[in-house]
Amino acid sequence: MPKELRYKRVLIKLSGEALRSSRELEIDPEVVRRIASEIHALTRSGVEIGIVIGGGNIFRGLSASARGMDRVAADHMGMLATIINSLAMQDFLEREQVPTRVMSAIRIESMAEPYIRRRAIRHLEKGRVVIFAAGTGNPYFTTDTAAALRAIEIGANVIMKGTKVDGVYCSDPVTNEHAEKYSAITYSEVIEKKLKVMDATAVTLCRENRIPIVVFKLLEPGNMKRIIHGESVGTIVKGETHG
């Protein structure tokens, strides 16, 4: 008998850096293939999936503006980088025989559908994975905020944030071997302690709309499937009144 799903509709947030394994390749085909395979396993369980991918492996608007580039122009370039990553993910998902749609917050019809909330929900209901590209379509907003916004709009039960580490720590576990890992933490604590889960705007949106965030190690085989079945994986960010 199949395991019961804890989360029926999910929003997966990936950083652009998650698509590469080294500085030599902005998009590593083997890494993207592994992620696509994990997502394929979720679709076979009946989960409805939306994805938001950052563009930092190709171009990061915030760091470019810090070096003197106009912030609006830099953010627009970052949006284009997310479209490149979204198309790469679409290609590898479709190689896994997963029906997929890329929906862009900026108009680029020859490559992606324009984002329309009702159409996105219809795609999800039909079993298609929807990749939301170009962030919110506005400068000054991160893809973290875009992920929170899209999760709210599509009625996602959870945001699953894939990272290179296995959860949220009190400090950087790479530089501090004694860093404490949290199994669960509240939205307020994330903001107060300035933990690098998602930016403050995204965390606030999730808190106001009661959407939990699960931070997990992306390339650990089976992690995504364990999460949707309710197993304890990584760190869950939730409110004081969540179960």
Say yes or no to pLDDT of 6 above 90. yes
Which tens digit of pLDDT belongs to each residue from 100-126? 999 999 999 999 999 999 999 999 999
CA distances from 10 to 117, 150, 203 (A): 15, 10, 16
Q: Which amino acid is at 131?
A: I
How many Å is the Cα radius of gyration of the chain? 17
Strands 9-14 and 48-53, bridge-based pairing: parallel
Q: Given a cut of 70, is residue 243 above it in pLDDT?
A: no
Give the pLDDT score at 242: 54
pLDDT at 50: 98
User: pLDDT for 162-210, tens place per residue?
Assistant: 998 899 999 888 888 889 999 999 999 999 999 989 999 999 999 999 9
Encode pLDDT of 62-109 as tens digits: 778 778 889 999 999 999 999 999 999 999 999 999 999 999 999 999
3-state SS class at 6 = coil
Q: What is the structure's pLDDT at 138?
A: 96
- Please name each of the domains of the chain with its CATH number: 9-238 (3.40.1160.10)
Taking Cα atoms as reference points, which of 80, 48, 46 lies closest to residue 61?
Answer: 80
- Quote the pLDDT of residue 4: 86
Q: Mind listing the pLDDT tens digit for each residue in 124-150?
A: 999 999 999 999 999 999 999 999 999
Contact assessment for residue 82 and residue 27, using Cβ atoms and an 8 Å cutoff: no
